[in-house]
Amino acid sequence: MPLADTGLPRTIRLIAATIAIVVAVSLPLGYWLVAYGDAADAAAIDAQAHADLVTELINANPELWRYEIPRLDAIAATHLTGRDLPEKNFILDEQRNVLSQSSTHLTPPVLTRSAPLLDSGVEVGRMLTSRSLAPLLINTALTALFGLLLAAATYVSLAVLPLRALTRMLGALVQEQERLRAIVDNAVEGIITFDLQGTVQSLNPAAARMFDYSTTEALRRSAGELLPEIDLARAGLTDEQPSLGQLETTGRRRDGTGFPIELALSQALLDGKPQLIAIAHDITVRKSAEQALRDAAMELRLFADNVPAMTASFDENLRYRFANRHYAEFFGVDPASIVGKHLREVVGEDAYREIEANFMQALGGQPLTYRRVCKLQNGESRHIEIKLLPHFGEQEKVQGCFAVTTDITEHMLAEERIQRVAHHDSLTGLPNRLLFNDRLNQAISLAKRDSRRFALLYLDLDRFKPVNDTLGHTVGDELLQGVAARLRQQVRESDTVARVGGDEFTVIMADLPRREAAETVAAKIIAALAAPFELGSSKQRVEIGTSVGIAVYPADGRDAEALVKAADAAMYNAKQVGSTFLFFSARQDLET
């Protein structure tokens, strides 16, 4: 609104003009009144003072005082109260004849004051003191001129300058109003104002779109048409509690359809009247998203609870954010109460010390997988494999980690079985050739590393084939099992006994401090196998023997093949001798 339309400029000018007029008039008037009063007072005092002097003269010479002209002239010429204004004194007798007067010329207008001349209390004359008011009038005129200048300055300072400031301020206010209007008009939220009876007073375009009305159509409608679930008249807003905060309710469009809105209600003075301001936000999309999120969470929970894996999520302090049903049940914890617990509380102090470093690595951003044996609360031990994945949040900051735990106990057992079948002789339970080769290579590596030596004993049973042919495979198998048992009894725990052929066995003596030790073991084996076996249900007595070839690392070979070949060659030579043992000899080998 233009400033001129407010009537304010006219009022300000009127006030300023009034004050300026008061200044212009009061200054000279005040000066005149004060100065005139002072002059009148001074004249009166002067007249009285002169009268007192004349009265003294009268008292000294009551008969002829009026003829003492020199003294009367001197008194008349005397200025008693200063010479701020021209002054003329007259001494009059009782007939008002001038006895004496001062010679001063007075410019009119003239102010006169008088005092009686007394002779023993009887008035015998009058003293007049006149003062020219011309200087006072000139000063008053100058004061009036100054007053006019001051009035002009007052008018300028009270009218022109404030109006300019007001115009600037109003311009700024209009700009601010336009800015706020633009903000309101372009706000995403719907902004509606109601009077205290709940009638719509205004609404912004967003609100009109939200409720499917035009701006003009919505005006004067009741709040119940737009917000059927809220009685604004009873909203309970007061000056002490001007806001209801945020609430969710249902809005109703012009066609009667409802939609969820989030509403902030507050009360404020608008245009001098208390009104309710409702800021409405259509939360249809958000509600759908929230529902979708809840559905997704439910699905995720359902899915997580029903996958065989155990899954859990931890925050950066290793407190559980989530654990699926399998995980909670595995650790014997209530699924509903695990959230918020620390990992230590669930796995126990000892286990936590073992796995803490792994979790720290995951929280450091490094994924890892590890296995451990977990002892459950019922005392059962289970093999589990845990895959830890860092949980990266915004800006790749680690916010925790995910743990996918798999119970691999059955898998481990199956693997052990497979390993056993693959590496052991199913009849005797001894390592087969495959495992023998592996152990031999391992022994070579260790001996090479430690600069030690070890012995490889190669055995071949004597007279086994006739037993097998005559007593059958079952007895033959039983014989082989018996041989295996006796061989295991003759060697150290650290030594490896393997069945590498039908009736061929090997012994790897992992550590051979002395050559004689190999001889001793070979002798013990020969002696053990020479003792008769009682086989079959009939306990049939069977006697066999064995020949043992001994090769020593590294003297007789530096790799597995050379060693086996050397031991086999030594065993062949021993078999030629018959049920004895022989060390490998390169010369014999050449002869052979």
Partner 1 sequence: MHTQRILKRFQAVFLAGIGATFALATVAAHADSIKIGGTGTGLGAIKWMAQEFNKSRPDAQLTVMPSLGSTGAVRAVLAGAVDLGISARPVTPEESSKGASSQAYARTPFVVVTGTKNKGTEISLNQLVQVYSGQLTRWPDGSPIRLIMRPDSDADIIALRAFSAEMNAAITAALAKKGHRIATTDQDNAGALETLPGSLGATTLTLIVTENRAVRPLILDGVAPTLQSLAAGRYRHFRTLYLVTGRNPSPLAKDFVAFIRSPAGQTVLARSGNLAVQE
Q: Which is nearer to partner 1, 60 or 183 (CB)?
A: 60
Q: Which is nearer to partner 1, 69 or 247 (CB)?
A: 69
Q: Which is nearer to partner 1, 104 or 588 (CB)?
A: 104
Q: Which is nearer to partner 1, 16 or 99 (CB)?
A: 99
Least distance to partner 1, CB of residue 64, Å: 5
Between CA 496 and CA 511 the distance in angstroms is: 11
Paired residues of 131 in beta bridges: 87, 111
Alpha carbon of residue 124 to chain centroid: 107
Tell me if residue 7 falls in helix, strand or coil: coil
Least distance to partner 1, CB of residue 42, Å: 21
Least distance to partner 1, CB of residue 131, Å: 21
In eight-state DSSP terms, residue 107 is P
CA geometry: angle at 316 spanning 313 and 317, to 5°? Answer: 100
Between CA 155 and CA 393 the distance in angstroms is: 69
Between CA 338 and CA 351 the distance in angstroms is: 17
Paired residues of 265 in beta bridges: 245, 278
Least distance to partner 1, CB of residue 139, Å: 25
Q: Which of 562, 434, 403 is nearest to 498 (CA)?
A: 434
Q: Which is nearer to partner 1, 102 or 490 (CB)?
A: 102
CA dihedral (93, 97, 100, 105) in degrees, to 10, reads: 130
Which token pair is 1? 């609104």
Q: How far is CA 381 from CA 352, 372, 500, 507, in A?
A: 16, 10, 36, 35
Least distance to partner 1, CB of residue 160, Å: 53
- Site of interaction with partner 1 (CB under 8 A): 60-61, 63-64, 66-71, 73-74, 77, 103
Which token pair is 173? 């206010």
Q: Which is nearer to partner 1, 75 or 548 (CB)?
A: 75
Tell me if residue 505 falls in helix, strand or coil: strand
Q: Which is nearer to partner 1, 63 or 380 (CB)?
A: 63
Q: Which is nearer to partner 1, 76 or 567 (CB)?
A: 76
Q: Which is nearer to partner 1, 73 or 225 (CB)?
A: 73
Q: Which is nearer to partner 1, 22 or 77 (CB)?
A: 77
Cβ pair 131, 43 in contact under 8 A: yes
Between CA 545 and CA 520 the distance in angstroms is: 17
Least distance to partner 1, CB of residue 58, Å: 13
Q: How many CA atoms lie within 13 A of 406 on its CB side?
A: 11
Between CA 448 and CA 443 the distance in angstroms is: 8
Least distance to partner 1, CB of residue 46, Å: 19
Between CA 575 and CA 202 the distance in angstroms is: 116
Least distance to partner 1, CB of residue 113, Å: 24
Q: Which is nearer to partner 1, 6 or 61 (CB)?
A: 61
Pairing between β-strand 122-132 and β-strand 110-119 as defined by DSSP bridges? antiparallel
Amino acid letter, 176: E
Q: How many CA atoms lie within 13 A of 121 on its CB side?
A: 0
Question: Would you say the C-alpha torsion 427, 432, 435, 440 has a positive or negative sign?
Answer: positive
Between CA 499 and CA 439 the distance in angstroms is: 13
Q: Which is nearer to partner 1, 70 or 379 (CB)?
A: 70
Which token pair is 421? 């079948």
Paired residues of 454 in beta bridges: 553
Between CA 169 and CA 158 the distance in angstroms is: 16
Least distance to partner 1, CB of residue 21, Å: 46
Q: Which is nearer to partner 1, 64 or 268 (CB)?
A: 64
Pairing between β-strand 122-132 and β-strand 87-93 as defined by DSSP bridges? antiparallel
Least distance to partner 1, CB of residue 87, Å: 17
Residues ≥6 apart with Cβ < 8 Å to 518:
455, 457, 509, 512, 550, 552, 583
Least distance to partner 1, CB of residue 90, Å: 16
Least distance to partner 1, CB of residue 80, Å: 15
Cis peptide before 108 (omega within 30 of 0): no
Q: Which is nearer to partner 1, 69 or 173 (CB)?
A: 69
Least distance to partner 1, CB of residue 115, Å: 21
Least distance to partner 1, CB of residue 76, Å: 10
